[in-house]
Amino acid sequence: MSDEERRDHDNLIYLCPNHHTQIDKKPVPPAFSTAKLRRIKQKHEAKVRRGRDSAFAEVGFAELARAVKWVSWTSPATDKSGFTVIPPEQKIKKNDLSVRSRISIKMGLGAASDVRAFVESEARLNPSFPDRLRSGFLEEYHRLRREGAHGDRLFDLMCSFSQQGLINQADRSAALAILVYMFEACEVFEK
């Protein structure tokens, strides 16, 4: 392997100091074949991912949890605009989203005015609330982009992020509305 290949994310594995020395500094014992090390890494990463997802489901970030609770208990406003007030078409094209994602975005836009009203009312009580809500979504968006997600996959992962830990459909729909509000009103999906 070249030095670049050795340092690549796919080749990295977290080890305690003893195993690091045993595997990287000495000839690798037969008990630690490349295939076995890859399985250990995959198993560990899956465990960490499940733990993170479980913790997020219980904790989340407070701004999203508060917004979901409010939006899920609010009756949707009657949309007189036919979803054309602020067309997100440019972001849809820029992010190479298909009809499947476009449908979810149009459904979420039905509640965008409610989400906007909530965010504005929260901003009067806590001026940093909108920035913290946006930052939570932006952080996840940029993380997924760095990992190579794009198009519908990126949108699906962002939907999963916003709906993590939510079981009833009203809350899941509220989380979609909040994500679509971010899609429409903020720089999420603009990079």
Q: What is the pLDDT of residues 43-90, one digit of tens each?
A: 887 787 766 665 555 445 677 777 777 776 665 544 444 333 335 677
16/65 same-domain check: no
47/84 same-domain check: no
137/174 same-domain check: yes
pLDDT for 104 equals: 83
Residue 190 included in any domain: no
Given a contact cutoff of 8 angstroms between Cβ atoms, the answer to whether 108 and 183 are in contact is yes
- Residue ranges of the chain whose pLDDT lies below 70: 25-26, 28-29, 50-61, 72-88, 186-191
Residue 46 included in any domain: yes
Tally of structural domains, the chain: 2
Range of the domain at 100: 60-185
102/116 same-domain check: yes
Residue 191 included in any domain: no
Mind listing the pLDDT tens digit for each residue in 57-66?
544 567 777 7
pLDDT for 161 equals: 92
pTM for the predicted model, two decimal places: 0.55
pLDDT for 147 equals: 93
96/162 same-domain check: yes
DSSP 11-32: G-----HHHHIIIIISPPPTTS
Given a contact cutoff of 8 angstroms between Cβ atoms, the answer to whether 109 and 180 are in contact is yes
Residue 151 included in any domain: yes
46/89 same-domain check: no
Residue 161 tokens read as 């992020």
Given a contact cutoff of 8 angstroms between Cβ atoms, the answer to whether 162 and 174 are in contact is no
64/8 same-domain check: no
pLDDT for 33 equals: 79
pLDDT for 60 equals: 54
143/80 same-domain check: yes
pLDDT for 10 equals: 74
86/14 same-domain check: no
108/148 same-domain check: yes
65/145 same-domain check: yes
pLDDT for 55 equals: 54
Last residue of a domain, one of 39, 55, 71: 55
